[in-house]
Structure 1
Amino acid sequence: MTTVLERPWSNRQLAELGKAIRAGREAPKGVPEYEEVMLWYSELLTPVQQRIQNTDWSALGLGNVQGFELTSRVKTQSTLRDKLNRYPSQKLQTIRDIAGVRFEADMTLSQQNAIVLAMLGLFHDSSEGRVIDLRENDQHGYRAVHVEFRFGPPTHARVELQVRTLLQGKWANLYETAADLFGREIRYAEAGDLLGGRDIVEMLKELSRDRIATIEELLDRTVQLERSYVNMGDISILPLEIQEQVGWVVDRLQAIRENVGHRKDRLRVSIENMTDVLKQATGSRRGDAQE
């Protein structure tokens, strides 16, 4: 990494902090506070994010800085407590997504694969880079590709990189909004019956697994086929009949790509509208609770 940060606490100290967070009590003497540890993780994310930000991604068709959205975050104490309670045997220092960077772009699945491979090379100084592909085997509808980086001594820390397409990111935001309305449990288990939550959550999962996945796969295959024909080189040496057939195929593939692109845009707008509706419902519910 550009800046090497030395972790100032031992595994035992972080494990004790994890126990305190899990139990909802203050950290014991000689153990760092949650805020202190998260500040260190935030500092760790800075060089990670800078390295990604300063990379020229134009070779992958994403442009440089303008072609993608890059954000970072550390886990809040409440979400960290939820995770520690869900996995009672897990120690705080072994949680892979305490610190995370999110890379999101309007890209195809093949470009997403290329980004992941590039990230592995970009952080070659990581002691371990593990790819977790959630596109085929989603988590309650959530689809993306995650890369877990484990930085060795003296850093001794993990950073999770989330790589999402535009639709994967829009859906994730929609589901987070649904979690605000129906409860955070929907991210890990079935939704309750509050406000018809179960049916809505199942519909959102199907939206990701069916419509979004289908459009992304169709667009990716079409772009790859179109590219293969366009890159055939000089076809003027081929018989005129073959040239015409190639031209017809290219025209058809372009038309299909444009049609799928329009469908993707309409789906994006629908997801954004659904997110707004759920946000309004959440606001109304909170208002009713305060009366």
Structure 2
Amino acid sequence: MIGKKDSVFDDKGKAQGILYLLESFDFVFMAQLMTTIFGYTNNLCLALQRRDQDTINAMRLVTLTKDQLQKMREDGWEILLNKPSCKIKTFVQQVSYLHHFRVDVFIKVIDLLLQELDNRFDEVNMELLRCMACFNPKDGFSSFDKEKVLKLATFYPSDFANIDLMDLECQLDIFIGDMRSDEDFQNLRDISSLLVKSVETKRDVVYSHVVLLIKLILILPVATASIERVFSGMTFVKNKLRNRMGDQHLNDCLVTFIEKDVFLQVSDDDVVNRFEEMKTR
């Protein structure tokens, strides 16, 4: 409407330019490609964001999504071009255009996504998550697998020595029988509620090694998120103008940057007084 009606000449030119870009093959191709990719990854994204996390199915979706993206990379080029909104094959018949859209765009975008999934969900991480899911109390601990729980404990050698693993193995047999026979543990929905109920009923004293492992499971996502926040914050703190700062200075800056909500509650007067106290010492 802006491009056709009597508008300001500059606005009219911009509108016509934007319309030309929106109708170009480049835009339509990229829009169709991303729509297809988002379609394949949508279920996985939703599964990973659910509050009531089903880890086993989420890990299965990771594998299925990676397989589907790999299949798309190998066989999806012609299918994408033949879709109604992208059916302009004469445009990409020339070698230069064919190479650009297929290699530099189509394959590169899929490879980047596959690489990101591999980095975040490698075999070690996926096996760790599968083992963690064995403590899920839903449906009467139907996911419980003693061997996988013992394998999970081996990921924490500083907390579980060989003698501790032997004790844990014996505790697990008694623990799972106790959980399945006690009505207080029948309607639990997640691992955090299992830990709370265990503390309330003093099971943390009876099954000390089991409860320690549950605590480590619950701490892991928080620790991982904290590490990601630190690396993300580092790109802001240690920029080109401050790339020679020492480790201690960097550490202090990162703490104040990441925990800025806490430090914003500290008044300037308190900071000044603190520095004055340090000077007098």
Please tell me the TM-score bracket, short chain as reference.
0.3 to 0.5
What TM-score results when the alignment is normalised by the length of structure 2? 0.32
Greater gyration radius: 2
More strand by share: 1
Higher RCO structure (Cα 8 Å, ≥6 apart): 1
More helix by share: 2
